[in-house]
Every structure is written in C-alpha cells, then in structure tokens.
Amino acid sequence: MEAEAAKYIGAGLATLGMIGAAVGVGNIFAGFLQGATRNPSAAGSQFTNLILGAALTEALGILAFVLGLLILFS
Amino acid sequence: MADPMHQFEVQKIVDLPDFSIPGVGVIDMAFTNSTLAMTLAAGAIVAFMAVSTAKVSVVPGRLQAMGEGAFSYIDNLTTSIIGHEGRKFFPFIFTLFLFILAMNILGLFLVFTATSQLAVTATLAIMTILLVLIVGFARNGASMYKLFVPAGVPWYMLLLVTPIEFISFLLRPATLALRLFGNMLGGHVALKVFAGFIISLGGLAAGGGLGLLGIPGAAVSLGGVVALTALEFLVAFLQAFVFAVLTCVYLNDVVNLGHHH
C-alpha cells in the first residue's frame, strides 16, 4: 500500500472518534429533554449547564477532527 | 471540485516591512485578510454599541434594546456563575463574547472567518488562561494547590484525583482554542463541500443525456447549503456563548477556591 493511501485511510479512521462525542451530546440533550418535560419550570435555569455539558463533551469529538486534519495536512 | 480549504488561506493585502525583535526573531507585520476580518469585527462592535447608545431613552427602541439585552445577558451570566465578584470580570468576558460573536457572524457574510484560524483562537485561549492564573495566584497565593486537591476526598483517592485534575487543567487552554477553531473550520468546510456538489452536479447535467440525473442531486445539495447556513448562525452564537461560559467557569474555580456557593 502506498503511503499516500494509508494517510487518507488513517485520517478517515481518526474521525471515528466523533462517534463517542455524538453519543455523549445526544445523551446530554436526551437527559435535558426528559427533565424539562417533567418539570418545565426548571428548564430555563438549566440552559447554561446544558450548553456547558454539550461543549465539554463536544471538545473530545473536535480533538478527533483535528487529529484527522493533522494526519491529512502534515 | 473546488478546494474547500482555499477559504482558510491567509493572504497579504498590504505588505508592511518586517519587524525584528532581538531574541525572538523576525515578525511579519503584513496586513492580511485575517487582520482585516478582525478589524472589521472590532469596528462593527464599536459601531453597534455607539449607535445603540446614541439616543438613550427610558423606554428603549429596537437598537437600544438589543444593546441592553446583550449587556444584561452577559452580566447575568457572570453574576450567576462567579457570584458577587463576577462584576470585576464582566468587561473582559463581555469583550471576548462580542468579539468572537462578531468574527463568527462576519465570517458567514464575508469570505474569511478569523475564528477559523488556530492562531486567533489560541491567542484568545492563552489570554483567558493567563488571566485565570494571574487572578488565582494573586488571590490565593500558595494555596492554589487546592485547585488540584478537592476538599472532602479521602487521601487514597487523591492519588488518583490529583493527576487527573492537573492534566485536565493543563488541557483547558488547548480545548478552549480547539473547540472554537474546530467548530468554525468544520462548519465552513461542510458548507463549501456541499456548495461544490452543486457546481459539479450542475456541470454533469449540462452535458445532457444521463447526466440530467444530476439536477435533483444539485437541488438537494442547494437545500443542504441553506439548512447548513441556518445551523451555522446557531453555532456562531453558541460558540461565542460557550467561550464566555467556560471563561466564567474557569475564573470561578480560582476566585471562589475552596468555598463553593
């Protein structure tokens, strides 16, 4: 196998790390919706925490994305 | 297909003479499209705030309501996360929020997004973390170590918790920079890839015959670009907000070290 081809396969494999971030962010919003539909009056006050959790989880997916870019362009 | 990474190339607009600092090296002082995008963003914020506060009235008009809304939104944020002392850090967080928001939104209208450059986001992240360190050491002195040693944890757990806390603290500037960079880069690449599909499928359809099947594909891609652009406006606001929230959280860790409220 050529080195160039291995590079593209590696970059593609690196982006698989985003699966975990996708599951995590989905879990956060699912949990928020479950809580918010049970107690809608408390939903507004938890918006900042919701976004914070989603951002912290998403960062790990972004790391996989950046790793893929590093493999492609370095 | 057009190169989707072309939009991120930094090009010189006005080439200024190089500036050399002894011990550091030569610094390219050229006025680039990145500098232009940041200047426009800063100018847009100043213009917006100047216009919205030009005719101040007790019953705010539309523009004044927008300005006041942005102001009180971040004011509430700092007070609710950092507490009473959040007021001190409000100017820094409000500036960060507006600057990132302006760069993100201008990036959707213009050809260049300053926040899709790692150098820009890393500078903002380093500034934030330096402020956290300076405030932390100025307020707590040597008891900064409590940041890595949470109270009420048994000593045998500390052997595990302290390294994890330390590594997560070191990763904070990296994730702060990479989150904004990755979101803006990824979003704009996706936009340009879908836009490229329209052109290449349209070119296929222009050939006639079986290539006419490309027309529905191009229509779907066009719909995708419209939907993605709408999503990108949401992401542009959300990432600026997330940066502001995380700055507040990191500042809160050192301002209220040891006594949680």
Contacts of A62 in chain B (CB under 8 A): 175, 178-179, 181-183, 186
SS3 B58: coil
pLDDT tens for B182-240 read 999 989 998 998 998 898 888 888 887 888 888 888 999 999 999 999 999 999 999 99
pLDDT tens for B189-205 read 989 989 988 988 888 88
**A66 with B182: Cβ contact below 8 A:** yes
ipTM: 0.82
Any CB–CB contact under 8 A between B178 and chain A?
Answer: yes
Contacts of B5 in chain A (CB under 8 A): 73
| Domain boundaries along the sequence of chain A | 3-73
Among candidates B77, B185, B242 on the partner chain, residue whose Cβ is nearest the Cβ of A55: B242
Give B144 to chain A, closest Cα distance, Å. 23
B74 Cβ contact list (under 8 Å, min separation 6):
B90, B93, B94, B97, B244
With bands split at pLDDT 50, 70 and 90, how would you rate the model's confidence at B2? Answer: low
| B100 in any annotated domain | yes
Total-model pTM: 0.88
Decide which of 3.55.50.30, 2.40.110.10, 1.20.20.10, 3.40.50.2300 is the CATH code for A3-73.
1.20.20.10
For residues B216 and B219, what is the distance between their CA atoms, to the nearest angstrom? 5
State the pLDDT at residue B127.
95
Interface of A with B in 14-53 (CB under 8 A): 48, 51-52
For residues B2 and B203, what is the distance between their CA atoms, to the nearest angstrom? 13
Instruction: Work out how many domains chain B is built from and give that number.
Output: 1
For residues B16 and A67, what is the distance between their CA atoms, to the nearest angstrom? 34
| B87 in any annotated domain | yes
| B261 in any annotated domain | no
| Dmax (CA) of chain B | 77
Q: Is the predicted pLDDT of residue A9 greater than 90, yes or no? A: yes
DSSP string, B165-217: HHHHHHHHHHHHHHHHHHHHHHHHHHHHHHHHHHHHHHHHHHT-GGGGGHHHH
Q: What is the mean pLDDT of chain B?
A: 89
Interface of B with A in 34-63 (CB under 8 A): none
Q: Is the predicted pLDDT of residue B1 greater than 60, yes or no? A: no
SS3 B4: coil
| B15 in any annotated domain | no
The whole-number average pLDDT for the span B75-101 is 93
Domain that holds residue B208: 32-255
**A48 with B178: Cβ contact below 8 A:** no
For residues B136 and B124, what is the distance between their CA atoms, to the nearest angstrom? 18
Q: Is the predicted pLDDT of residue B261 greater than 60, yes or no? A: no
What single-letter amino acid sits at B254?
V
pLDDT tens for A15-68 read 999 999 999 999 999 999 999 999 999 888 888 899 999 988 988 888 898 888
